[in-house]
Every structure is written in structure tokens, then in C-alpha cells.
Structure 1
Amino acid sequence: MAAPVRRLCHIAFHVPVGQPLAQDLQRIFGFQSLAAREADGWRQLALRSGDAVFLVNEGSGTREPLYGLDPRHAVPSATNLCFDVPDAGAAAQALAVRGCSVLVPPVSVRDAQGAVIYTVVSSPAGNLSLTLLERADYRGPFLPGFWPLPSATGRDWISHVDHLTLACTPGSSPTLMHWFRDCLGFHHLPLSPGEDPELGLEVAAESGQGGLRLTALQTPSGSTVPTLVLAESLQGTANGQDQVKQFLARHRGPGLQHVGLYTPDILKATEGVAMAGGQLLTPPDAYYQQPGKKNQILAAGHEPTRLAGQGVLLDGDKGKFLLQVFTKSLFAEDTFFLELIQRQGATGFGQGNIRALWQSVEEQHTRGQKAR
């Protein structure tokens, strides 16, 4: 591997002036302000919930924003993943040897709390760039160049980032998997026994037309990097509006489709998000009427009517369960969204829940077509 990553430091977004992402993350999802910076036409605001840190870059300056770059993408987007590395200079050199574009050569930034070195490189995943950060000697709450912000007592809904899902063009998953493996030290995480890493896991739609191919990647034990999931559409979707194709069209290319945020209490988190005005994706009516679903929910220690009332999906067996709920897009362009996830021993991503999400997107698309 060229530049093994050890930890996800933050996820960066680029939005135009006045876009309410930062306010929504605080008001709806319980994120707290961490640090801010205003310079060169940019307002950069770092927000935290547990160990999950989002950096919202608002504006369009003449110079690049600190710790990233402006991709000048057509729509608001999650544009950058920042990873901790032991040596940013060596990482940039090793990736350049492998043919990666070094978009920002290694640069040192210092303040009274210490110094960091960072570099920004391109990735093969659309407009998503990667910041590699060396910060072993920095003692501040975020990063040099930012001033700390006072934070009220936060809501404890979210503890960390569970996974990152990239929407990929059909057939591109093997190329991306090899890149993340060879360049950053990720390796294949089987989602089902005997899964071929080159093919991933195929999840067919209930209609039998189309479906998704998922390839999960993780870093070696000892790191705290979230699982990376590559998602692409299978051939045969009837109307071309599955969630991956929809993202590719509206985002205008591949990119970070959603972030899975781990919550220790999904019912509490979902109720709080809904009460704050968050919009959640509604599962199809038939989901909770599936044969055995009620018993499955009871076996996991939950009340079926409460899960149904809050739109929480549950999948799993043999004493291991996964609970999920998906938000609607955080942007008017109907692209990036969040997932709240709670694991009761399960390590996968809920094949049954993926089908339910698929069907929900299809039903909403059908309703939208009829309303026109």
C-alpha cells in the first residue's frame, strides 16, 4: 500500500452562500459547533457529534479553502475525506509514483497549539478528493487556522461514522476497490459467505428487475477508519430510477452518496430528528407485514408498532440485528443523504433493508411522476 490511512478526521462539504447545511446539521441532527475560519472568500465551519466531524465550506473564494480545495462542482456536494496518516510528505510522494494527482502539495500550518502537515490528492470517485493529514503534534480542538467555538451541551444521538457509501458508475467497482486497496490500505470485507471480491454482493430488487452491487472495504485492525461501501446499479432496472442511478444523474457524476452515522439508540435519535423537522425516508407499507418480520423485531427486543411508527428498518438473524433509518436528501438537488444505524451484533448492511430502501425510492419516484 502506498499511504495507509489510520483514522477519518473529517468529511468536507462545499455549498454556496446561504445553503442551510450547517444550520440543519445543528438544528436537526444535534451536531455542535467546533471551530470556524473566515478568509479568502470562504466561511469554514467544523461541526461535531461524538467522533463524527463535518467541515462545511461555504462560499467560492479566489484561493482554495484550508485543508481542501474547491472542486467547482455543479451542485452542493460532499467533496473531501480527510484521513490521518503518519507522514503526509511520504504519502504524497508514494501516491504520485502510483499516478495519483497531487492537487495540493504538502504544506505546513501552525498556530499556538502546534502544527500539522497536509496534502490533497485526487481519487477515482468523481469529484471526491482526499486530504492526508499529519497531526501527531497538534493539541488544539480542531486544526490550525481555525478559532474554537463555544459549544452547548450536545445531544448524544450520534457517536461516530459507521460507514461511507460511494455511488459508482456501472462496472467501476473493481477499479475503485483496487485503487483504495493499493493506495490507502483498504481490503475487501465480505458481506456474505464466499463472496467474490471482484463481484461484490448482488442485491436484486424484489421486482426482479435490476438491483445493486455492493463492495465493502475496510482498513486493517488497529485503525479507526469507517467501512467504505461501493454501490453500483445492476443492469435491468425498469425505469432507471434506483437510488444510485438517481444520484449519478442529479449529482452529475459519481461521489459520496451517503454517510452512515452510528447511534447507540436509534429510536431516541429518530424521534429527535423527526421532532426537529428532519425528513425521513418512509419504508413501503408492506415492509412490516412481511412474513416473519414481527417475530424478527420481537426477537431483537423491539416493539413492532414503534419501529413502524418511526420508519426504522430491522434486518438480521441468529441473535444479530441491524437497525437503520434513512433521511431524505440534505440538498434541494436530491443527492446526498444521511443514514442512522444501530448494530446489535450485526456487521453487514442488511440485504432486506437495502431492498426496502430500493422499493421506497421506486414508490416515491412513481408518486412524483403521477403528480406531474
Structure 2
Amino acid sequence: MALTDSTSMKLPIENPGAEDFLPLLGTDHVELYVGNAKQAAHYYMSAWGFQPLAYAGLETGLKDRVSYVLQQDKIRLVLTAPLKPGGGLNRHIDRHGDGVKVIALWVDDARKSYEETVKRGARSYFEPKTLKDEHGEVVLSGIHTYGETVHVFVERGKYSGPFMPGYRAWDPHYQPTSTGLKYIDHMVGNVGWNEMNTWVDFYARVMGFAQLVSFDDKDISTEYTALMSKVMSNGNGRIKFPINEPAEGRKKSQIEEYIDFYNGAGVQHLALATDNIIQTVGALRDRGVDFLTVPPAYYEDVLDRVGEIDEDLAPLRDLGILIDRDDEGYLLQIFTKPILDRPTLFVEIIQRKGAKSFGKGNFKALFEAIEREQASRGTL
């Protein structure tokens, strides 16, 4: 949807167990704190096909930070870096490395969203505030979630500018072509030992979400490692948050590795949707994005497991794309290697052909691929 779109219409219910009292209309943007926003912006533009949208920094009156806003279809990334030593931004980057700080949620009423969540037990990040410029106004409010991750509620129905007040349009000569990414399908959070149910309860009690599915250590395990996961979703299904925690295994799981290097709970990966995963992954690979690979044997019997699909198997095998099926249809998915220096944040590319699940049939192959990468880093 366009930046100026707003709606109070009743959205279709996909998760009837959710109360959806906010309601949430979608993901407005994801903000990452990074060490060098200019260079990070170039990476996400060049490698991922994001387009320049807006900028804030010294030229717009900011003295302590700079932010570049990128967009590809409905996905918006904000990359923010400090301009001076000290302060919260530097502390966050020193502790966590580059990583997701803000998951911003698009709402019709940011004040109501704040009031409804805080009265249910959310810890305030900041109270509702209104930002204004010649293009209109945006209302923001925020609450804390797991680790140092926060949700910011964004009400932009009365705004027609490029992003929000305080930013100016950013229109450089370099305008890379899209790679076909459409929207954020889901975002996964990693939390510590025995914390998953705490945050599942948080999203149910504080935000009105309901559980879609759960996976235990029997579902997500290999010879060496295991984890547990529960997927929380709002009523219209536009926001899905799987929450992972470690489980006992013979060696250190990817969740433990993440928490060790991120120094706490945080966003593990963004799942970005496409309508043509073969074209998207091919374009990303050509631009330098590295993906996890699975053994060729995975494809020997995959069609026996998932049944007939529309795509030819050969390009899926060449690119390393995984396939899984549920009662609603099938999905295609692939995962990058960590996209940062620390083995923390990575990206999933997903194409849904009716399926509403998360690739349970691929867990073993995927996690063995992750373990091979962990072994190469000496962290397994």
C-alpha cells in the first residue's frame, strides 16, 4: 500500500483466535541501528534491490544521527547510524552489532494502540507524539518487547510526504532495479532459555495475538541441536511473529549462537515474500547475496513428499530452494547466510502457493545446513 494509504475498514480475519483490538494494518517499517548507514544503504540497494526513499541527518537538523529510508514494494527499511560518540545508539551497536531495533506497525490510531497495550502490561518506550510538516502529520507511540527490540505504532493517515516529518525525499542518481521482493511475510525473534512462553503470553495478552502453530524439539532438531518455536499472529494475519528459544542438544544451537553474539534476545530473521522466487533468488545471487545450501540428495525424493508443483525442479535445485506442503497448498523458501559480520541477522525469501505454514518439512535439511555453517565458524 502507498505511504498515504489509511484504512479503518474491517479486514478479513485469518486467525479467529486473535482479539485484534488494536487493530494492526501491516508493517510500516523496520529500523536497523548500524555502524555506517550510508554504506549499509548502498548494500541494501545494490544487493537487494531497494530504492532510495527518504533521508534525515545534519542537512535536516539532526545533530546526533543519520537515517536512510529504503523501499521495495511494501517493504521499508530505515538504516540509522550515530554521528557522535556516546549515547544509546553507540551503546546498542557496541552491544549487539548492527541489528533490528524497531519493528514499526501501521495503525489507524497510534494513541489508542499505545493505551490499549500499556494498560494490558506493556512497558512504555515513548508516549504518543505528533510530528508535523508541510505534508501533514504523523502520530507515533512505542512499547518495549523482547530484549531491546521495540514496537512503534505509526498513524500516517493525514500525511502525504515521502516518509514522515523530519525526513526529506532522497532521490540520488543511483536507482537500482527491484529484485521482486513484495512484503514482509513474518519476522522471527530469538529469546533466551525458557522465555518463549513469556513472550507468547505477552503477544496474546498485550497485543491480542493468538498462536497459529507451535514446534517443539522433536519437530526442530538434528543429531546435534534443537530449538522450540511458537508462531503468534494478529487477527488479519498481516503480522506474524514466530518466537524461538533454545532446547537441549548435544551441541550449541543456532539460537544459542545468536544470543551469544547478539548479547541477548532480538530479531533473528526477516522473511520477505516474492511472487517469483526463482527470479528473485537468481537476481539476489547474481548481486552477491550468499544463501545456505542443502545436499543434492534433498531433491531426489522431494516431489514424492510434497507432490506436484507448478515450477520445474531443475532451477529450484540449482538455486537451493526448499519446498514444503500443507493442507492449503505449498511454499518455496530459501535462507541467506548471516548478512552481518556477527552470525546474527539473516533473511528468508518465501513464495507461498496457498500454504500458510512455515516449512516444517524442511526443518531438518535447513538446520543441518546452518550447523555446517556454525562448524565452519567454530561455534557449533
Q: TM-score range by the shorter chain?
A: 0.7 to 0.9
Aligned-CA RMSD value: 2.7
- Is the alpha carbon distance of 1:11 and 1:96 closer, same or farther for their aligned partners in structure 2, counting shifts above 3 Å? same
Letter paired with 1:136: G
Note the C-alpha offset of 1:317: 5.6
CA contact (8 A) 2:338 2:346 kept: yes
- Aligned equivalent of 1:135: 156
- Aligned equivalent of 1:256: 267
| Equivalent position to 1:47, from 56, 67, 70 | 70
**Greater CA drift, 42-51 or 308-317:** 308-317
Aligned: 1:14 with 2:33: yes
SS of alignment partner, residue 368 of structure 2: helix
CA contact (8 A) 2:46 2:176 kept: no
Q: Which runs of 5+ in 1 are unaligned?
A: 192-198
Q: How does 1:76-115 map to 2 (within 5 A)?
A: 76-115=98-137
CA contact (8 A) 2:179 2:284 kept: no
- Aligned equivalent of 1:33: 52
Note the C-alpha offset of 1:71: 6.6
CA contact (8 A) 2:29 2:78 kept: yes
SS of alignment partner, residue 190 of structure 1: strand
CA contact (8 A) 1:300 1:319 kept: no
SS of alignment partner, residue 302 of structure 1: coil
| Equivalent position to 1:177, from 162, 186, 200 | 200
CA contact (8 A) 2:185 2:240 kept: yes
SS of alignment partner, residue 33 of structure 1: strand
Q: What TM-score results when the alignment is normalised by the length of structure 1?
A: 0.86
Identity %: 22
Note the C-alpha offset of 1:364: 2.2
Note the C-alpha offset of 1:210: 4.2
- Aligned equivalent of 1:351: 360
Q: Per-residue CA shift, 1:273-301, capped at 9, x if unaligned?
A: 11111111112344224xx3144577113
**Greater CA drift, 39-48 or 98-107:** 98-107
Note the C-alpha offset of 1:354: 2.0
Q: Which runs of 5+ in 2 are unaligned?
A: 1-18
Letter paired with 1:31: F
**Greater CA drift, 94-103 or 138-147:** 94-103
Note the C-alpha offset of 1:182: 1.8
Q: How does 1:207-218 map to 2 (within 5 A)?
A: 207=223, 209-218=224-233
**In structure 1, distance between residues paired with 2:116 and 2:354:** 38
Note the C-alpha offset of 1:103: 2.5
Q: Per-residue CA shift, 1:49-106, capped at 9, x if unaligned?
A: 11011111122558999xxx77724111111111123332333334333443322222
**In structure 2, distance between residues paired with 1:188 and 1:71:** 34
- Is the alpha carbon distance of 1:230 and 1:202 closer, same or farther for their aligned partners in structure 2, counting shifts above 3 Å? farther
| Equivalent position to 2:348, from 336, 339, 342 | 339
- Aligned equivalent of 2:298: 287
- Aligned equivalent of 1:327: 336
Q: How does 1:170-209 map to 2 (within 5 A)?
A: 170-190=193-213, 203-207=219-223, 209=224
**Greater CA drift, 153-162 or 36-45:** 153-162
**In structure 1, distance between residues paired with 2:347 and 2:367:** 15
Note the C-alpha offset of 1:362: 1.2
Q: What TM-score results when the alignment is normalised by the length of structure 2?
A: 0.84
**Greater CA drift, 261-270 or 243-252:** 243-252
SS of alignment partner, residue 132 of structure 1: strand
Letter paired with 2:100: A
Q: Per-residue CA shift, 1:95-145, capped at 9, x if unaligned?
A: 33344332222221111110011122211x111011112222112231111
- Is the alpha carbon distance of 1:317 and 1:228 closer, same or farther for their aligned partners in structure 2, counting shifts above 3 Å? closer
SS of alignment partner, residue 205 of structure 1: coil
Matched residue count: 352
Q: Per-residue CA shift, 1:345-365, capped at 9, x if unaligned?
A: 111011122221210111222
Aligned: 1:167 with 2:190: yes
- Aligned equivalent of 2:92: 72
Note the C-alpha offset of 1:170: 2.4
Letter paired with 1:213: M
- Is the alpha carbon distance of 1:19 and 1:259 closer, same or farther for their aligned partners in structure 2, counting shifts above 3 Å? same
